[in-house]
Amino acid sequence: MSEEKKEKEKSKAQSAKEIAKIMAANMAANMKDPDFLMKKERRLQHAANKVLREYKLTEEKKQEQEKDKNKSAEEIAEIMAANMAANMNNPNFIEEQELLSDKIRAKIIKERKLREQKKKSEND
């Protein structure tokens, strides 16, 4: 083993001994305190309550978001139903749809022709 490795091992062993001494001193001090276990239990209970509160808040937020999604879906469904009812009451609805479709088709065809002409002019 090289000197450097031996030094590191020695340093680690020394650190471990120091940590062990500190832990032993801490344990001894805790054992002298008659309320140590009660204080520890209170700290643990406080932490558990905090976690449960956060969990409950998170769950409430999730439920609220789910309600909002459902409400939005219901509103959209109502709007669609009202739109369908209005369309059914319009005697010219089918003709208007066909006219609209024809206009859209004509626009698409026109745009395709323009693109083709542009490509053709770029290739020339």
Q: Looking at the domain assignment, is residue 122 inside a domain?
A: yes
Q: pLDDT (tens digit, 9 = 90+) per residue, 15-54?
A: 888 999 999 998 888 888 888 889 989 999 999 999 999 9
Q: Which of 1-5, 19-23, 44-48, 58-62 has the lowest mean pLDDT?
A: 1-5
**Domain extent for 108:** 94-124
Q: Looking at the domain assignment, is residue 124 inside a domain?
A: yes
Task: Tell me the helices (H) and strands (E) count for the chain, helix number first.
Answer: 3, 0
pTM of the model: 0.38
**pLDDT over threshold 80, residue 89:** yes
How many Cβ atoms are within 10 Å of 80's Cβ, its own excluded? 10
Structure tokens at 44: 């643990």
Q: Looking at the domain assignment, is residue 54 inside a domain?
A: no
Q: Looking at the domain assignment, is residue 101 inside a domain?
A: yes
Q: How many domains does the chain have?
A: 1
